[in-house]
Amino acid sequence: MTTATFGGGCFWCVEAAFKELDGVQSVTSGYAGGHADDPTYEGVCSGSTGHAEVVQVEYDPDRIGYDELLEVFFSVHDPTQLNRQGPDVGTQYRSIVLYHDEDQKRQARAYVEALDGEYDDDVVTELEPLETFYEAEEYHQDYFEKNPNDAYCRMHARPKVKKVREKFRNKLKN
């Protein structure tokens, strides 16, 4: 198994999208990229910790590649929105790829550079080495799965899951 870490707005939405994919063993919501030790949801939401809401994806590279994870990640959020995604505003919702090694760094950088010409606005996705991943509180894990009728999930997570199911049919779990 290999690990990848991404932040693209609310972790509920990103988590739900990645959980659809064949080869993804697990997706854990959490916090990374900031300066505070042992952050809490309330602290991260305040913007005072420097952390972003992220997901950590454990995957089998023999079944799905990092390049495919990047493709899914960039299809379920807008990498041109600085410090926000949809209704969620603040640095905690920034677009960020936290790479685990030099190969991930190289692939992510190449992907972002290729994307830059596809948008009218600049791609603002940050590329940073992962230093520490902090797992979010239990009630955030599998949030969409546990709360499919939550208003936020219906308006924001469900369309991302639908997009993954339509666009990546050949990469879905059976």
Residue 92 burial (CB count, 10 A): 29
For tokens 């992220």, name the residue: 54
Of 93-97, 114-118, 159-163, which gets the smallest average pLDDT? 114-118
Distance CA 78, CA 74 (A): 7
Query: What percent of the chain has a predicted confidence (pLDDT) above 70?
Result: 100
Q: Give the three-state DSSP class for 128.
A: strand
What number is the average pLDDT over the span 72-77? Answer: 97
Distance CA 157, CA 7 (A): 14
Superfamily of domain 2-171: Peptide methionine sulphoxide reductase MsrA (3.30.1060.10)
H/E run at residue 8: strand 2-8
Please determine, for residue 116, whether its predicted confidence score (pLDDT) is greater than 90.
no
**Would residue 153 show up in a list of annotated catalytic residues for this protein?**
no
Q: Global pTM?
A: 0.96
Of 56-60, 65-69, 114-118, which gets the smallest average pLDDT? 114-118
Please determine, for residue 25, whether its predicted confidence score (pLDDT) is greater than 90.
yes
Please determine, for residue 174, whether its predicted confidence score (pLDDT) is greater than 80.
no
Distance CA 85, CA 131 (A): 24
